[in-house]
Structure 1
Amino acid sequence: MTEYDYEELGLVAGLEIHQQLDTATKLFCQCPTRIREPEESTRSLTRYLHPTKSELGEIDDAALEESMVDREFEYLAYDTTCLVEEDDEPPHRVDREAMDVALEIAQLLDMNVADQVHVMRKIVIDGSNTSGFQRSMLVANDGEISTSEGSVGIEDMLLEEESAQRVEETDAGVRFSLDRLGIPLVEIGTKPDIRSPAQAREAAERIGMLLRSTGHVKRGLGTIRQDVNVSIADGARIELKGVQSLDDIDDLVRNEVRRQVELLDIRAELNDRDASVGDPQDVTAVFEDTDSGVIRGALDSGGVVQAVRLSGFDGLVGREIQPDRRLGTELSDHAKRHGAGGIFHTDELPAYGVTEDEVAALREAVDAGPEDAVVIVADDPETAELAIEAAAERAETALDRVPEETRDANDDATSRYLRPLPGAARMYPETDVPPVTPDESEVETPELLTEKVDRYQSEFGLDAGLAEQVAYGQRWRLFEDAVDRGADATLAAQTLESTVTELRRDDVPVAHLTDDHFRATLELVADGELAKEGVPELLTALAEEPGMDAAEAAEAAGLGSAGEDEVRAAVSTVVERHAEQVAEEGMGAFSALMGECMGELRGKADGDVVSDVLREEIQKRA
């Protein structure tokens, strides 16, 4: 991947971190924040959304473009879905727990909390909200974090409601699920202080650590999303949406810088060629007898082929601007927004069943010369017309500038056009929810995860790796509680992290294990009623029969702690069984026999005790 001189290019980047909070109820109603499976849905409802004017009579460009795509939005509802989620009842007051967590985060980010918090409506008509807007409120601003490349300012932090979960595309539009809608979410925006891809990733990691330090944020795929704003000196501000993995942030920034550099080079070349964009026209006649599957399918369904001449664009439409993405891909992204499957262009033709003769006839039909490129769209008449116009408009923009826009992050760290950048015209006050007066004195600043790691090493004697595993894991509260109840710290940490991971790999249903299961298991060990070696087997039994009491499960599995006589009898049996080997090898037979002794006792005895007895028995016979 190309590494540029980012200072010379004038790279400026900022982050927007969206993190779901782990609260008992949603932000504006009492519904649970538990994610459901679509199969659990009990009913559904539909909506058609359209943009509204702001208080100043303006309509947001992003909302206006979204409204040009006619779609039906279906929402899956559940037995917990309420009228607020359906937008059939006004929202309730702001959830107190969510506000308290937001205040904790503000303290960790060294931010100034607002004297009074007002709820705003943000127009969103992509279907992700039943109401056509998202409720959001500014809680704090003007904070700061540190990175190895300098400090990064925190512009603001908003507390808002999460959007509905997109389930799938349908023939009529999009299907969403209401289980996620309304989950409290903080949006943290940095100042444009980031100057390199590596710093962008480090800043995101730092903010993520601070968020997890509260112990009140949701974990797992989709619970945190990063948006990255990127621009270079002669380019444009681009918002990269929906980055799911921290590992992708630096590559996304690099690829966006490359895209803008390539587009600026293309602009310079187009200007040197005195390039221009023609008017779209119908070229259906050129393809009347085509064998191209895509075009043939469109024509047989009553469709047409629309084309536009791009004068001076030859060789540039197919130029790569990101890995496996070209200027032609950018044109195609815009065409797809209007329902087309994509475009064909002469930099890639003949191909896809289009012949050389058809390419020549196409060029002649639109009066294209050798330095010109031609773009075509085959679809129903209305879609083809809208799509070719969108592609032509994007080509026109290539002559002048890198356009400001919102782009969707792809899994390969590239991006694709999503919509124009939103503006202030989509915000207006929420009149159904009273303002909140936050009180920072009611919350305590959480211990940082990095501080927790250090404490676990000094206070509990954990090694650095295990301390970090527990502190950054989801069960640190359970770990501390178990130790307070008398559990050995190292055993508790290993049980909650390593043992659970190993059992999961062995397909044990560890999701059935509750905090009480772990507490009871560790208490049995602390009380001498269960050997630590029996912990995995007992947890397995409890996972498979979650309703059983830990002591009963241990007894049923024969996992009671063995006394010294029982241990010595079992070890003696093993040693007698291998008397000849012991006579020949002496202590050299220890390792081989140790495993067999532990198996004989089936986890009922501590390994250190078995080891000591085995050494004694071998020495007697050696």
Structure 2
Amino acid sequence: MTEYDYDELGLVAGLEIHQQLDTATKLFCQCPTEIREPEESTRRFTRYLHPTRSELGEIDDAALEESKVDREFEYLAYDSTCLVEEDEEPPHELDDEALETTLEVAQLMDMSPVDQAHVMRKIVVDGSNTSGFQRSTLIATEGEIETSEGAVGIEDLLLEEESAQRVAETDDGVRYSLDRLGIPLVEIGTKPDISTPDQALEAAERIGMLLRSTGKVKRGLGTIRQDVNVSIAAGARVEIKGVQSLDDIDDIVRNEAARQVELVEIADELAEREASVGEVQDVTDVFEGTDSGVIAGALGSGGSVMAVPLSGFDGLVGREIAPDRRLGTEFSDHAKRHGAGGIFHTDELPAYGVTEDEVAALRDAVGADPEDAVAIVADDDEIAESAIEAVAERARSSLEGVPEETRGANDDGTTRYMRPLPGAARMYPETDVPPVEPDPSEVPQPELLTEKVERYQAEYDLGSGLAEQVAYGKHMPLFEDVVSEGISASDASGGSPDESDGVDPTLAATTLESTLTELRRDGVPVSDLHREHIVSVLSMAESGDLPNEGVPDLLRALAEEPDRSAEEAAEEAGLGGADEEEVREAIAEVVERNESQVEEEGMQAFSGLMGECMGALRGKADGDLVSQLLREEIQKRA
């Protein structure tokens, strides 16, 4: 791909980072924030959503276009679903824990909290909220982060409710799950200070580090999403939503800048050709008896073929504007929004069963000359007509250059059309939730992850690599708990702590960052391990009731049967610590079985026998003790 001079292009980009908070309950109700499996659903209900007017009587363009797609929304409810989530009861007051965490984030970005926070309704009629709107609250403004290419301003910080999770397409519409709906979410919006793809990635990484520094954000796929706003001087602002992987941000910005360059060049070429878009026409007769499977299928179901002539567009509809995406792909995206499977256009025909004779007849039917292109849609009458009208409208915007719009991120770093950009008519006050006055005075200043890495090395003597793994890993809050004083098995589930010096930091770090990973790779269901399981196992190891070598086996046993306590699982698996005399006897038996090897090799036999001794003890003894006693036994016999 061409690497542009982004300063010359006038590239401007901004980020919107959406991060779920790890709170006990949801933002406007007391339901848990646990993600469920669709199979756990206990009932279902359906809704149809329609856009509402703002206080000024306006309807948002994005909501209006979304409402043109007639769909039924089905929702999966659970035993934990409440009336607030179903929009059958007013929302409760803003969650205190979520507000406090949001204020911590504001501190880390040097932002100024608002004097009074008012909950607003943001219209969404795509089914992702049962109410037809998302509740959002401005908490702080005017902050800043640093990057190697200069400072990036933080415009606003909002506290929002997460949307419902889309789980399936149905014959009538879309199916959503209500488990995610209402989870507290912070939205961080930067100013348009980003001028290169690399700076966009660096800014996103910095914000991600600051969020994780609180220790109060959810981790894992889908818990953080990045939206990117991109424009070039000759282009237009485009909002790209749903960038799942932070590593994709620079590619998204790079590809969007290139796409806008191509669209501007196409518009210039169209202007030179004095191009125009004609009227939509019914060309069903042209394709009677066609061998094209798609077209024949539509006609066989009583559908029609609709066409739009594109004067001066020949050769440009098939022009690539992004990797594996052409101007015709853009047209097709708009057609798909209206239910069509896609479009055909003359830059790619004859193909797909459409013959040269049919192409010639199509051109004749709509009055297209050789320098013109024609786009067609074959589908049910209503879908074909609305889809081809959408294609015609997108073709007209090609004459102007880059349309302002909201696009969705694809896995390959490209984007697709979603809807028009939302406007001010999208927001209006929420009357069911009272305003709050944020008080940052008692909110602690979180320690940055970069500072944690340095502290773990100095305070706990962890290597730099392990310290960084722990600080940036999802188990960091648990590590902090188990290595601090007063954390032991008795308070694993929130009870009163015993007097304790905490778990050995190296053991805790390797267990959380290495042992659990290795068990997961072996197919052990480590996701079934709860916090109390891990705390109890580490506490048993620290007290001497479990050798360090027995930690993986005990965690495996608990993961496979999580209803047991660590003590019960250790007893059933025979993982309790052996006393020194038992260890000596086991070692003596191993050495005696290998007596000739010991006599011949002496201490050189140690390595081979060590593994056999550990296997014989089955994790009941610490490796250091086994090593010491094995050396003594070999020395006696050698």
TM class, shorter-length: over 0.9
Distance 1:381 1:512, change over 3 A: closer
1:614 aligned to 2:613?
A: no
Q: Specify the alignment match of 2:582 in structure 1.
A: 566
The 1-side partners of 2:75 and 2:567 are apart by 46
Equivalent residues of 2:161, 2:185 under 8 A apart:
yes
Q: Specify the alignment match of 1:125 in structure 2.
A: 125
1:315-357 superposed Cα distances (whole Å, 9 cap, x missing partner): 1111111111100000011111111111001111111111111
Q: How far has the Cα of 1:576 moved from its partner? A: 2.8
1:515 aligned to 2:531?
A: yes
Q: Which amino acid aligns with 1:593?
A: L
Q: Which amino acid aligns with 2:140?
A: A
1:505 aligned to 2:524?
A: no
1:261-282 superposed Cα distances (whole Å, 9 cap, x missing partner): 1111111111122211111111
Q: Specify the alignment match of 2:488 in structure 1.
A: none
Q: Output the TM-score relative to the length of structure 2.
A: 0.95
Q: Which amino acid aligns with 2:507?
A: L
For 1:28-177, list aligned pairs within 5 A.
Answer: 28-177=28-177
Moved more, 65-74 or 555-564: 555-564
1:367 aligned to 2:383?
A: no
Alignment equivalent of 1:488, drawn from 504, 514, 518: 504
Moved more, 241-250 or 550-559: 550-559
Q: Which amino acid aligns with 2:604?
A: G
Q: Specify the alignment match of 2:592 in structure 1.
A: 576
Q: Which amino acid aligns with 2:77?
A: A
Q: Specify the alignment match of 2:212 in structure 1.
A: 212
The 2-side partners of 1:89 and 1:553 are apart by 45
1:467-488 superposed Cα distances (whole Å, 9 cap, x missing partner): 1222222333332332233321
Q: Specify the alignment match of 2:224 in structure 1.
A: 224
Alignment equivalent of 2:556, drawn from 540, 548, 568: 540
For 1:339-354, list aligned pairs within 5 A.
Answer: 339-354=339-354
1:286 aligned to 2:286?
A: yes
Equivalent residues of 2:266, 2:401 under 8 A apart:
no
Q: Which amino acid aligns with 1:617?
A: E
Q: Secondary structure at the match of 1:69?
A: coil
The 1-side partners of 2:567 and 2:28 are apart by 43
Q: How far has the Cα of 1:202 moved from its partner? A: 1.0
Q: Specify the alignment match of 2:496 in structure 1.
A: none
Q: Secondary structure at the match of 2:516?
A: helix
The 1-side partners of 2:628 and 2:47 are apart by 72
The 2-side partners of 1:119 and 1:158 are apart by 10
Q: How far has the Cα of 1:525 moved from its partner? A: 2.2
Equivalent residues of 2:73, 2:127 under 8 A apart:
yes
**Number of corresponding residues:** 622
The 1-side partners of 2:530 and 2:277 are apart by 65
Q: Which amino acid aligns with 1:578?
A: N
The 2-side partners of 1:563 and 1:82 are apart by 54
Q: Specify the alignment match of 2:572 in structure 1.
A: 556
Q: Secondary structure at the match of 1:403?
A: coil
Consecutive unaligned residues of structure 1, counting only runs of 5 or more, are: none
Equivalent residues of 2:328, 2:345 under 8 A apart:
yes
Q: Specify the alignment match of 1:530 in structure 2.
A: 546
1:196-219 superposed Cα distances (whole Å, 9 cap, x missing partner): 111111111111111111121111
The 2-side partners of 1:400 and 1:128 are apart by 33
Q: Specify the alignment match of 1:200 in structure 2.
A: 200
Q: Secondary structure at the match of 1:395?
A: helix
Q: Which amino acid aligns with 1:576?
A: E
Equivalent residues of 2:319, 2:326 under 8 A apart:
yes
Q: How far has the Cα of 1:517 moved from its partner? A: 2.3
The 2-side partners of 1:586 and 1:271 are apart by 90
The 1-side partners of 2:43 and 2:573 are apart by 45
1:426-481 superposed Cα distances (whole Å, 9 cap, x missing partner): 11111121111111112111111111111111111111111122222233333233
Moved more, 550-559 or 205-214: 550-559
The 2-side partners of 1:539 and 1:234 are apart by 59
Q: How far has the Cα of 1:58 moved from its partner? A: 1.5
For 1:276-315, list aligned pairs within 5 A.
Answer: 276-315=276-315
**CA-atom RMSD, angstroms?**
1.6
Q: Which amino acid aligns with 2:614?
A: M
Q: How far has the Cα of 1:383 moved from its partner? A: 1.2
The 1-side partners of 2:543 and 2:131 are apart by 57
The 2-side partners of 1:127 and 1:521 are apart by 44
1:482-521 superposed Cα distances (whole Å, 9 cap, x missing partner): 2233321101111122111111222222233232222222
Q: How far has the Cα of 1:621 moved from its partner? A: 4.2
